[in-house]
Amino acid sequence: MKGKSDLVNRILRQAKTPLKDAAAVNSTRWKLFNSLKELGLPIETGSGGLTKFNRKRLKVPKTHWQDAACVGQVPDNLVFKTNQPLLIKATGHGTRQMCRTNKFGFPIRYVPRQKFINRLFRTDTPSRPQNL
């Protein structure tokens, strides 16, 4: 980094800025934790390292809902009664690229603006059969 004093100064200035977003998330998390504790609910916390240790020890896949079951003190045998906790699945908005590119990054084709799901447009409304 010799000769790049501007870069070093910018990095040091940025390192000293307060982490407002992280502070807001942490204060909200602790407020929620204390509120649930006051209600008398059995609640437990743990570090990310402990959660990972429990997940690896029990050979649990790293999905969000199964990872939440590995927080804190976990028994030696953890049984999940389902493979899918919700009946819905978030699929996102598809790909929002304006055009597809080749391996060099040059545009090769343009994509339609509408998203297709099972050969239907995202804005299509289902119709009821007439004989019902």
Domain residues for the domain of 18 are 1-43
Higher pLDDT, 18 or 82: 82
Cα distance between residue 75 and residue 69, in whole Å: 10
Within a domain: 34: yes
Within a domain: 112: no
Within a domain: 38: yes
Within a domain: 94: no
Taking 3-state DSSP, the helix, strand and coil percentages for the chain, each rounded to the nearest 5, stand at: 35, 10, 55
Compute, in degrees rounded to 10, the torsion defined by CA atoms 4, 9, 10, 11: 90
Can you give the pTM of this predicted structure?
0.48
In the structure, how many helices (H) and strands (E) does the chain have? 4, 4
Within a domain: 5: yes
Q: What's the total number of domains in the chain? A: 1
Q: Are the beta carbons of 60 and 70 closer than 8 angstroms? A: yes
Mean pLDDT of the chain: 81
Does the pLDDT of residue 49 top 60, yes or no? yes
Which pLDDT score, from 0 to 100, does residue 120 have? 62
Within a domain: 24: yes
Q: Report pLDDT digits (tens) over 76-100.
A: 988 888 888 877 777 776 667 778 8
Within a domain: 99: no
Within a domain: 67: no
